[in-house]
């Protein structure tokens, strides 16, 4: 019996992903992925809102190699709360090929922050998605920012489009770079040139050290996944949104798989087909190189030659 029972209806990650038709540029970074447990070794947090399947560092590294990525950025998932040990264990086992984004509370000690930095953590994540976390007061978040700023870290923010208006002033006040998860979760049934997505792009315009992950077509789509033989149609409703961001902010975009894809209800993507979406959102070699190599390297491995 495993220690933890998965949330009923939980979709396990897709074993045996296809080989992407799109060949990733050398040195490509999967800049958004997670590890879950294994629960027997790294227990899930008591305050979690879901219990996932296990998704270990070795399974993540196998996917990295299969898809053709060189590096990973492992983002702390809410099911592990502020216990970063599974993520840190992955960073330490990666031989310098993974960086991390942690969750910390204001009471974190300097020694704990130094240890996270030494392991490869370069940012903290503030999650505003109500189904994933209990709300944390802005004061507490500001205290965390004060603690991490001297380390040169950034703040990853995860929120849904309807909440941007209420959060915008706080975001603009953050004195370190921001990285937005999944394009601020637009409603892709709306116009990519309409007021909702314009408000999101305005955040990127107003705070020029804000980066954007053009990720998660599988999470945002309404039209659904690509047919196995039809990559032209891949997540066609999400592509125009991602493409707008890539075209206006080519030096501030990142891409990642989001493996092992928590909380998907409709379908679990084949990560090989997800990679095949990249040339649709970044149509030139130059844009692909920025998205997959130059930008994530500048943010997470600035000292690499």
Positive or negative, the Cα torsion across 176, 218, 28, 68?
positive
Nearest approach in angstroms of CB 292 to ligand 0GY is 18
**Span interacting with ligand 0GY, options 11-19, 22-30, 233-241, 257-265, rule CB under 6 A:** 257-265
Q: Given 3-state DSSP classes, what are the helix, strand and coil percentages for the chain, each rounded to the nearest 5?
A: 40, 10, 50
Shortest distance in whole angstroms from residue 182 CB to ligand 0GY: 6
Cis peptide before 38 (omega within 30 of 0): yes
Q: Does 181 bind ligand 0GY (CB under 6 A)?
A: yes
User: How many Å apart are CA 240 and CA 206, to the nearest integer?
Assistant: 22
Residue ranges of alpha helices (H) inside the chain are 57-67, 85-93, 110-119, 138-148, 164-173, 195-206, 217-220, 239-248, 271-275, 278-281, 285-289, 295-300
Site string for ligand 0GY, 216-255 (x = CB under 6 A): ---x------------------------------------
User: ∠ at Cα 104 (200, 265), nearest 5°?
Assistant: 55
Contact map string, positions 112 to 141, toward ligand 0GY, x by CB under 6 A: --------------------x---------
Catalytic-residue membership of 258: yes
Active-site option among 258, 270, 271, 276:
258
**Residue pointed to by tokens 């941007």:** 164
List the x/- string, 24-63, binding to ligand 0GY by CB under 6 A. ----------x-----------------------------
Q: Which is nearer to ligand 0GY, 79 or 179 (CB)?
A: 79
Residues assigned a catalytic role: 258
């Amino acid at each position: 019996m495993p220690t933890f029972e998965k949330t009923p209806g939980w979709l396990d990650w897709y074993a045996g992903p296809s080989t992407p038709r799109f060949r990733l540029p050398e040195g490509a970074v999967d800049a958004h992925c997670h590890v879950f447990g294994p629960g027997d070794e790294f227990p899930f947090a008591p305050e979690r809102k879901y219990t996932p399947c296990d998704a270990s560092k070795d399974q993540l590294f196998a996917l990295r190699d299969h898809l053709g990525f060189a590096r990973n950025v492992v983002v702390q998932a809410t099911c592990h709360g502020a216990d970063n040990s599974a993520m840190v264990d992955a960073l330490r086992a990666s031989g310098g090929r993974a960086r991390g984004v942690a969750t910390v509370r204001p009471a974190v000690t300097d020694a704990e922050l130094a240890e996270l930095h030494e392991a490869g953590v370069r940012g903290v994540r503030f999650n505003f998605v109500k189904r994933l976390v209990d709300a944390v007061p802005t004061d507490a978040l500001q205290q965390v920012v004060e603690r991490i700023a001297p380390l040169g870290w950034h703040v990853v923010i995860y929120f849904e489009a309807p909440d941007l208006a209420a959060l915008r002033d706080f975001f603009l006040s953050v004195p370190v770079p921001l990285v937005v998860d999944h394009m601020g979760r637009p409603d892709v049934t709306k116009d990519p040139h309409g007021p909702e997505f314009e408000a999101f792009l305005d955040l990127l315009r107003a705070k020029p050290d804000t980066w954007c992950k053009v990720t998660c077509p599988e999470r945002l789509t309404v039209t659904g996944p690509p047919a196995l033989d039809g990559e032209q149609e891949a997540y066609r409703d999400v592509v125009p949104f991602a493409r707008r961001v890539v075209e206006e902010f080519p030096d501030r975009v990142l891409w990642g798989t989001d493996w092992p894809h928590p909380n998907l209800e409709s379908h679990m993507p084949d990560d090989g087909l997800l990679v095949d979406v990249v040339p649709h959102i970044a149509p030139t070699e130059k844009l692909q190189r920025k998205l997959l190599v130059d930008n994530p390297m500048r943010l997470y491995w600035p000292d690499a030659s």
